[in-house]
Structure 1
Amino acid sequence: MIETFTALLFTHTLTDFAFQSDRMAHRKAKREITAFASHLAILLGLSAVALLQFSTGFLIALALVFASHLLIDFAKSFAPPTLKSFVFDQAAHLIAYAFIAAWFSDLWAQALWSDHKWIPGVYALIAGSFITVRAGGFAIERLLTNSGFGQESASAPAGGELIGLLERSLIFILILANQPSAIGFLIVAKVWRFDALSKSDTQLKSEYVIIGTLASFGWALAASYATLALLGHLPPLGILPVPD
């Protein structure tokens, strides 16, 4: 079951956070049929490749993936773009995939790639990295915008967004490398940057940086440890250190 869930999570994260452009997301929010069709075609294509096999159960599972994703995304299009709607949307997808994986628990065992025991671990690593880095960016953006920092978010330099991506990427790597203490160096660097900003910018900008930093670090730590927990239930990849 866990391998099937991991494969579905992998295809979902790539569909939502790698192959979905801002334009496609905007068109989906306006409930344009072509946008939904393109999005779901990508999802089904990735799911078919990740779990490739020739069985009736596979076709039923794909149909359930299609239907659940369509219903959840369609329902989301009626909600405002807030952090709450983003989290509920992603949680609903995870719950749907968990039910599908439980119902078709042997789906991965029948896949053409099932003899390669390392593949689910790679799926988990890729999914975890996108959830940590890319999804984290969307979550932080919504948090700041909905917390009264809309103008600050709009005027923030692109460098701030890039710094957020890099720091979440480094946290993900450090946690998986079993070097969480090294995150302290990132904190020192952020404190130094904040000190420089506080001397030259407004109080509002300083609060914006503090909230964004704490939220970014918190998201990255939670997603990274969740990835480690998922990897702990999969066949070992043999490339990651054993946690103390």
Structure 2
Amino acid sequence: MNDYLILASLFICHILGDFYLQSKAMVDAKHFGQKRKPLIVFDQELGVMIAHLLHIALHALVMAFVLYFLRGIEVIRLSDTNLYLAILAIALGHLVIDLLKSGWRLKMMSDDNAVITLVGDQMAHLMWILIVWAWLFDDLNNFSGLLTVNHLVIFGAYLLVLRPTSILVMLLLSPHTPKNGDNQIPKAGKLIGYIERAVVLTLIFVDQYTAIGFIIAAKSVLRYGESGGNNTKLNEYVLLGTLASFGIVLLVGILARVALGFEV
């Protein structure tokens, strides 16, 4: 089981490095051809390369910290050679994929395919991690009972339905975003989305699908009451965001239940 623990750990490291430890400014700094004031160097392309290298260094540090920590408490067992090879191979592969994505964005010169680009980019990263894992660790058979695959699957599922899902829903809604007034609480929508997706995922794990319907109904009634049913565009925007958010959480939760061996 040790090899699957390592795989789950590498996936979590990727989610942390790509979503939770990377700000929007860091993402923008990796895009070729954007009109912005360089932060480190005056040459724009060199600045983009430096931003990519800093991002890769961050990923490598996250992987090193997590793998060393898990090995130190004897959750996983792996040699120094395999540990260094895994970090180096995944970091270099991540750099190549990110550079290809940046080149694709420059070629397209449009954010119309932002959702496809994000999903394709993340699938490429996860596939590369799987390839490196199969190369280095698939023949390991050690197991530690301190931390199980089930724990990491659940933790990874919660990570996926928070910031990554928030970004994906934001991209899905960006073409339909209504103009907001000044009477809204800053970032309230993002916090509400975090909480509701965490609650829904928890309900999925405890097999309480009926309660999810009550949450959707209550939110829909509340939003409809705020606008009095007069703002059709706002109502459709909220409904689209709610269905997209809940749909993604349901998919992640069901896949996690399948991975854990639960009945769906």
TM range (shorter): 0.7 to 0.9
User: 1:141 touches 1:153 (CA, 8 Å); kept in 2?
Assistant: no
Q: Does 1:45 align with 2:32?
A: no
Q: For 1:149 and 1:69, how far apart are their aligned partners in 2?
A: 32
Deviating more after overlay: 57-66 vs 149-158: 149-158
Q: How many residue pairs were aligned?
A: 230
Q: For 1:223 and 1:230, how far apart are their aligned partners in 2?
A: 10
Q: For 1:169 and 1:229, how far apart are their aligned partners in 2?
A: 18
Choose from 213, 221, 227 the match for 1:192.
Answer: 221
Q: For 1:201 and 1:166, how far apart are their aligned partners in 2?
A: 28
- Which residue does the alignment assign to 1:75? 100
Q: CA separation of 1:10/1:66 partners in 2, compared to 1, >3 Å: closer, same or farther?
A: same
How large is the Cα RMSD of the aligned pairs?
A: 2.6
Q: Does 1:89 align with 2:121?
A: yes
Over alpha carbons, which structure has the higher Rg? Answer: 2
Q: For 1:191 and 1:151, how far apart are their aligned partners in 2?
A: 18
User: Given the two structures, how large is their TM-score scaled by the length of structure 1?
Assistant: 0.82
Instruction: Give SS of 1:185's match.
Output: helix
- Which residue does the alignment assign to 1:5? 7
Q: How does 1:127-138 map to 2 (within 5 A)?
A: 127-138=156-167
The one-letter code of the counterpart of 1:125 is I
Instruction: Give SS of 2:30's match.
Output: helix
The one-letter code of the counterpart of 1:36 is H
Query: Where does the alignment leave 5 or more consecutive residues of structure 1 unmatched?
Result: 233-241
Q: How does 1:1-244 map to 2 (within 5 A)?
A: 1-30=3-32, 32-52=48-68, 53-78=78-103, 79=105, 80-81=110-111, 82-106=114-138, 115-145=144-174, 148-152=175-179, 158-199=187-228, 201-232=230-261, 243=263
User: 2:257 touches 2:263 (CA, 8 Å); kept in 1?
Assistant: no
Deviation, 1:169, is 1.0
Deviation, 1:151, is 4.4
Deviating more after overlay: 178-187 vs 121-130: 121-130
Alpha-carbon deviations, 1:91-122, whole Å to 9, x = none?
11111111112112348767xxx534415443
Deviation, 1:137, is 0.4
Q: For 2:85 and 2:26, how far apart are their aligned partners in 1?
A: 27
Q: For 1:130 and 1:108, how far apart are their aligned partners in 2?
A: 27
User: 1:4 touches 1:108 (CA, 8 Å); kept in 2?
Assistant: no
Identity, % of aligned pairs? 28
The one-letter code of the counterpart of 2:162 is V
The one-letter code of the counterpart of 2:84 is L
Q: For 1:186 and 1:154, how far apart are their aligned partners in 2?
A: 26
User: 2:178 touches 2:233 (CA, 8 Å); kept in 1?
Assistant: no
Instruction: Give SS of 2:162's match.
Output: helix
Q: CA separation of 1:71/1:173 partners in 2, compared to 1, >3 Å: closer, same or farther?
A: same
Query: Where does the alignment leave 5 or more consecutive residues of structure 2 unmatched?
Result: 33-46, 69-77
Instruction: Give SS of 1:77's match.
Output: helix
